[in-house]
Structure 1
Amino acid sequence: MLRPGGADLTIAGGVREFGRATPDVIAVRDGDRELKYGALDERSSRIACALLAHGFSYGDRVALLCGNRLEYPEIAAGIAKAGLVLVPVNPRLTAPEVDFILGHSGARALIVDPALAGAVPDGFPGRVVHLGPEYEAWLGTARSVDPWIAVDERDPFCIAYTAGTTGDPKGVLVSHRSRSLTFYATALEWGIGPGRRTIAVAPMYHGAGFAFAYAAVYCGATVSMLRSFQPDALLDMIQRDGAQSVFLVPTHAQVIRSFFEKVPAAPTLDTLYFNAAALPKVLKEWVFEAFPGVGVHELYGSTEAGVITNLRPPDARRKAGTVGHPWFGTQVRVVGPDGAPVGPGQPGELYSRSPYLMNGYHENPAATAACTTGDGFLTSGDIVIRDEEGFISIVDRVKDVIITGGVNVYPRDVEEVLLTHPAVAECAVVGEPDERWGERVVAYYVGRSPVDAGDLEGFLRSRLAGFKVPKQYRTVAALPRNAAGKILKRELRSTP
């Protein structure tokens, strides 16, 4: 009996489809290396067969420790074809941190860039394969026939470890169905499909970086690998490869702004989409001016929830400061401290329900239960406000709200104003312990030019209520960030 809906979705699906339909179209570019769809399909089948020949069985975990490079998509597709689970590892981690991920995930094999061999923990009991000659020899001895292992689309294709901004590593179980649907929606929303070209700018070991780079090979487009972010290298790659849709995080835009007096023209570029952190209004206005005629999207989501909202180009200026409406197939709920829904204009915690949600945290049912509801909603951990038209604004992280003298201060309110000062390039506002007020408001900032704390205070006092004005201003050379570009406020709070 045929099951309604046909075959299960799997992240290897697009590679298989375009390996047959357009075998001679370039799928991946990496410097002077190119990989066509036919070769991508064949090489990923070899990876699958090599792993199965080594005795791996359905659901076993395979870790991948490398940056953005040509092999990333073929390895991900090969692991999926074998019915195994990918464990992407941040190449910036130390050996003890990698050891935790390998142990917690139960990874039985590790594929690693030789340049990162020092991060491989001593005593790892699984198979280690180094990219380069060893990897090529490994593939060369494997069968090139697709094993077609049956995969349940609701099973995880990966365990993505995220410390977020809390510092506690948790393994996010992301299903084939979740990411496959994300890829299709990405093609619809940002034009990632046959005949289109994009660039893997954000690191692929991170949830968003993987989703928006791998979407290209899933949907028949071409993706160019940017191994490390340099603003001039990115603009050169956009021009050289004719990129049309590019995903960035706000930090990328900030660095480009600092690097170029005038951004070189990018005639093929028609779509930019931003994620990972709020795009400050002043920076967003600069993006409009630096990339004239380019449609700018601002989306919001997480590894756990996938994409939750998107602010589309027609409303990008009119509703700057918001992250738009719920994305395809997504329901949101905004609730107050008592769990009851709040009305327009009222702050509340955002929950979402969609086909993109994680399956839960690997071997951490308590953490999963703490962030989900009985009817299938997942908390974002963010305080938001929804206006009368349904546009959502991120006010702040629940844990970052500052309570000073019994009054709530939302750091982003202060940051948005502070960023309009011409001497401030970047900033972050945090709460620190205070004997009198409980918490005091403290601003950390990266200067564009020298400025006195008294000048900053006077600037803010004319624009903000007195209780929101920081009690201290601290200059830093750079703000600490995680792989997604999110500011690690916990590290600022611990700064002496």
Structure 2
Amino acid sequence: MRLRIMVTPRIRALADVGELLATAAQRWPARPAVRDLGSPPVTYRELFDQVATVEDWLRAQGAGPGARVAVIAHSQLATVVLMWATLRIGAVFVPLNPAAPAAALTSMVTDADPVLTVGTPGALADWPEVAGSAARTPRFPTPPVPTGTGPDDLCMLLYTSGTTAVPKGVMCPHRSVRYAVEAIQERLRYTAEDVVFNRLPLAFDYGLYQALLAAHAGACLVLAGPGSDTMLLRSISTTGATVLPLLPTIGGMIERLRRRSAPLTGIRLITNTGAAMPEQMRRSLRDIFPAARLALMYGITECKRVTIMEPDGDLARPRSTGRPLDGLEVLVRDADGRPVPPMATGEIFVRGPSVMAGYWQDDEQTDARFVRLADSSERILRTGDFGHLDHEGYLYFEGRRDDIFKHKGARMNCREIESAAERVSGVDLAALLIPAEDDEPMVLVVAGESVDSASVLAGMRQRLEAVKIPEVCVAVPMMPITLNGKIDKRRLREAHCR
């Protein structure tokens, strides 16, 4: 099925991402812009002045249009300052996760070939030096206008492992990033009164875009790193947060902390992407944040973002991730590349202005995932994800290509089995470990308070055919998570599939 939604007049295909900050500083100079936990916020005017100083320092280091600037992206104001300064001089911002293994960081830096790298995994240790050097750097009387840059030039290089073990740099042009910000804002409607509490890594596109969305709306961005988790609910309350972007793993953490906290009424909007949020967790979050509306989303780094459900739309369509963003076309195709009818499962393809430009220095992977259309220079993104569209054009995500497998002669869907487990009372999160060989058992790992394996399997038998019930179920107190906050199935496999 083809679903085309035309661009609304309110969404403009503007190109310059750095312009967002200048506009915010002009419209809301005295409003709080960004703050670290435990520190007072800087205003948009103060942020703009800090960024302008660092712009001159970056130019003095040889950064300019097209040059990559790698930053160990700790959840700190300094990272946001470096991001805006890099974007505004026409250079390419390359955020790297400080929790990544040393070998992975080395691989990404080597691949990106930056003109400079700021920070270390332990801390943004170079920032005091950067700030001091920037303050001493002579100001350009008239800052040079970037030359040779345009809407199709890169503003970011975001590394993602995707379906391979080797991180790939997703090339993000100004045009695509700016369009994504405009289209997401059209759905989520951040305001200048909002305080966005961001516990997500700034090296993760979902976390990084919170800085762009906040500037677009004039909202205040609160940066919270993993070290603040034990006080997470208290921090959400004391910062006056109104918007809470989540992953299910963070939602599970909030559920566990809830037992020591009364309901919090300040949050008006919760968003979720990265993985499907269990229905039980959605109910729990609505109890914890009774004034909040929940917006489920679907997207990948290669297309930021694909669909957004209208706030609380999951109450009517509990398993849908919403409608495509304005201007995007979503197609669902079978194994032979033919369109399938509504309600039929197939691979999800996306075309439109927020599809990114491919993988950095990897033509083979780019051609495999960003499929060029016949008689056109346009590419359509092959997501590697499976799902279906309903008759109204709402998308239902059903899993990645790796989630579809055969066991004992039956076709299985990993998300279907995990979802059945997560609907059992007491289960917060579930992870199915797909057997490498057909004679190996399916292993299900569940996390939750006071859950036992036998009761989980018994509950699943009420929802699934017998052949889909895992042979082994293991209960753990907490799921291990990846650098981007998703369930780390590799670590679970090492611990429970020997």
Deviation of 1:137 after TM superposition, in Å, equals 2.9
The worse-fitting range, judged by mean Cα deviation, of 233-242 and 41-50 is: 233-242
Residue among 402, 411, 414 paired with 2:414: 411
Give the counterpart letter for 1:355 in structure 2. P
* TM-aligned CA deviation for residue 226 of structure 1: 1.3
Residues 461 and 241 (structure 1 numbering): CA distance in 2 closer, same or farther, change over 3 Å?
closer
Quick one: distance in 2 between partners of 1:265 and 1:444? 29
1:141 is matched with which residue: 130, 137, 140? Answer: 137
Once residues 194 and 460 of structure 2 are traced to their aligned partners in structure 1, the CA distance between those partners, rounded to angstroms, is: 45
Single out whichever of 178-187 and 299-308 deviates more from structure 2.
178-187
> Given residue 148 of structure 1, which amino acid in structure 2 is its aligned partner?
V
Q: What is the match of residue 31 of structure 2?
A: 25
Partner of 1:384: 387
CA distance 1:238–1:190, change in 2 (3 Å): farther
* 1:396 maps to which of 361, 376, 399: 399
How far does residue 265 in structure 1 lie from its aligned partner after superposition? 3.8
Structure 2 match to 1:49? 56
CA root-mean-square deviation: 2.5
Q: Report how far residue 311 of structure 1 moved.
A: 1.5
How far the C-alpha of 1:430 sits from its partner, in A, is 2.6
| Partner residue in 2 for 1:120 | none
Decide which of 196, 199, 209 is 2:197's aligned counterpart: 199
Size of the aligned set, in residue pairs, is 478
Gaps of 5+ in 1: 118-128
Cα deviation per residue 1:47-100 (whole Å; 9 max; x = unaligned)? 222122233342111110131111222211111122111110100023332211
Q: TM-score, normalised by structure 1?
A: 0.89
CA apart distance, 1:318: 1.3
The alpha-carbon deviation at position 351 of structure 1 amounts to: 0.7
2:162 aligned partner, one-letter code: G
What's the counterpart of residue 447 of structure 2? 446
1:7–1:345 Cα change, 3 Å: closer
- SS for the counterpart of 2:100 is coil
Are residues 241 and 259 of structure 1, via their aligned partners in 2, closer, same or farther at CA, if it must alter by over 3 Å? closer
Counterpart for residue 342 of structure 1: 340
Cα deviations by residue, 1:111-146 (Å, 9 ceiling, x for unpaired): 1158437xxxxxxxxxxx801245323333241664
TM-score scaled by length of structure 2: 0.89
Deviations for 1:144-195, whole angstroms, at most 9, x for unmatched residues?
6644324312111111111135322101111112222222233332232433
Contact 2:451–2:475 (CA<8 Å) still a contact in 1? no
Alpha-carbon shift at residue 465 of structure 1 (Å): 0.6
2:431 corresponds to: 428
1:87 to 94, 99, 121: 94
Q: How does 1:60-75 map to 2 (within 5 A)?
A: 60-75=67-82
8 Å Cα contact 1:206-1:484 kept in structure 2: yes
Aligned-residue offset at 1:415: 1.2
Specify the code of the residue in structure 2 equivalent to 1:347. Answer: T
The whole-number CA distance in structure 2 between the counterparts of 1:273 and 1:232 is 21
Distance 1:49 1:387, change over 3 A: same
Q: Is the 8 A contact 2:75 2:201 kept in 1?
A: yes
The amino acid of 1:422's aligned partner reads S
Structure 1 residue matching 2:270: 3-state secondary structure: strand
Q: What residue identity is the alignment partner of 1:471?
A: E
- Matched-pair identity in %: 25
Aligned residue identity for 1:486 = K
* Contact residue 400 and residue 430 of structure 1 kept, 8 A: no
* 2:422–2:428 Cα contact (<8 Å) kept: yes
Residue identity matched to 2:449: R
